[in-house]
Amino acid sequence: MTYRVCFVCTGNICRSPMAEIVFRARVAEAGLAGLVEVDSAGTGGWHEGEGADPRTETVLRENGYEAGHTARQFDPSWFARLDLVVALDSGHLRALRRMAPTEQDADKVRLLRSYDPAAGDDLDVPDPYYGGADGFDECLEMVEAASTGLLAAVREQVEGQAA
């Protein structure tokens, strides 16, 4: 059975595609590519059909990740097929929980940085869109740091499904 994870930010051109690409690489490195499906979306549809922000693409390539993405808007009907919806900041968390058709669906929504024990109380990944390249570097660092804990949590779920 496939475990499905969707990362969600505002427009699906900066943070969530970065998280999707990084986490997909972690899943592949862990040998779970056939068991875990990873994608991303935005709470809004402003950039639907566009590629990722060029600065996102640059920081990913500079750090050895495959780039390539097409933005899309999150649809509440997706909750039915998703196992985990990962919000990039607390605003996305609230918006996604409001969209959730059921309480069970709302319980599927988690903040990405909640998987990083070093994050402390600040669980938001700041939006780098209006800043410079350093914001995209910082975003990648946060995504990578949280991906380790997220992978452990997903591995536990996948192994639980297989048992």
Task: Tell me the catalytic residues.
Answer: 9, 15, 127
Residues 6+ away with beta carbon under 8 Å from 13: 42, 47, 50, 51, 52, 53, 56, 69, 71, 129
Residue 97: strand, helix, or coil: helix
Do the Cβ atoms of 143 and 151 come closer than 8 Å?
A: no
Question: Which residue in the block uniquely carries the two structure tokens 């779920």?
Answer: 157
CA 59 – CA 16 distance, rounded (Å): 14
Residues 6+ away with beta carbon under 8 Å from 162: 1
